[in-house]
Amino acid sequence: MLSQKTIDIVKSTAPVIVEAGPKVTQHFYKRLFSEYPELQNIFNMSHQNNNQTDTPSSQQVALFNAICAYAKNIDNLSELLPMVEKIAQKHTGFLITKEQYEIVGSQLIATIDELLSPGQDVLNAWSEAYNLLAEIFINRENEIYKENQIKQGGWSGKREFVVTEKLENTDLITSFTFKPSDGGLVANFKPGQYISIHLSSDLFEHNEIRQYSLSSSPKSDEYRISVKRDLDGLVSNHLHKNINVGDKVLLTPPNGDFYLNAQSNEPVTLISAGVGFTPMLSMLESLTSQSKTINWLHATENSSTHAFKNHVNVLVNESKNIQNFTWYNDPLDTDIYDVDYDFIGLMDLNKIATHLRDEKMQFYFCGPVGFMQKIAQQLLMMGITKDRIHYECFGPHKIL
């Protein structure tokens, strides 16, 4: 427990750090990587880089927001538990260690000292506060490591898998299926969770770790991810161009705090745009054997970018409980209304409001942040309560 003196100092000095803005975290990361360059093999460096050096990156903003949230709730840590769980799940995919928490803590305190010169009492208070938070993370992450290890098919650390299938879904999205090189079982996961892939290559300056949503229902001996090739994406381009059937990769067990958690009597609406369909598809495949009502809503540019279109149609045709609605923003001349798509333009939930009015319905969605912000706004305007709204951001988390 923190002393009241420490709590008072942190709360009274937090506004100074807030006023300093993300330059605190910019300075922190510059210092961290200068003194511990090996940590660049863990952090996603594309989240650190920005063409405008005075503009904070997404990862830097995420750290700054976490610091502010911690200071605000330092006397009520229960408010932080959702944030702790989200970050702890991500950290276990990166195999973060206690020693790395100690390094980060020392660099954070040094940054506060160098930028703000607040005095030793303030530095001691922030150090004490950080150590308590680090302990909370370390304990939770140790629990997750143990949970993953004792599962049937589970393991600890990195495990070698072989690519058994590589399927081009669209020009930009390709699916990869992995099976363990040892021929054993794999750990079960909750639909919506992700896998962490650890890659090394002569083409990379550093080792690279990425987390991709699992895009199929749980299987006993394999995992599938579906990856969008970003024009500037170092790893996504490497996967598309250089990783083929028979190649070996290293994976850590599935993780994530976003997953299907609806009760048996609760209907479900799955909403996605672009490659955001990946966790939704895992949920859909897992739900098809149930008798509950399911709405599948997807938005994309047109049929050329519509991944797993035929697969979803098969699932819909085999079930009497799935309603399927598709929005094409810019249909091709060859796309057929009421066959390939149902609506033109951006997703408008008012078009299908009658399908969404069940007061027990749970809503899950994933896609670009702008898309998810609009979906969240539409749901709230329709009277959907926040406890029925669940979403996932790729990369650093953002509050919608």
Q: Catalogue the active-site residues.
A: 101, 141
Q: Residue 132: what residue type?
A: L
Helix 98-116 with 23-35: angle, nearest 10 deg: 130
Please give the Cα distance from 365 to 268 (Å, whole number): 11
Please give the Cα distance from 359 to 375 (Å, whole number): 18
* Per-residue exposure over 348-378, b if at least 16 CB sit within 10 Å of its own CB, e if not: ebeebeebbeeeebbbbbbbeeebbebbbeb
Number of Cβ within 10 Å of residue 242's Cβ equals 11
Q: Token digits for 329?
A: 């923003």
Q: Residue 7: what residue type?
A: I
CB 308 within 8 A of CB 277: yes
Number of Cβ within 10 Å of residue 139's Cβ equals 11
Strand order across the 248-255 sheet: 208-213, 194-199, 248-255, 159-168, 173-180, 223-228
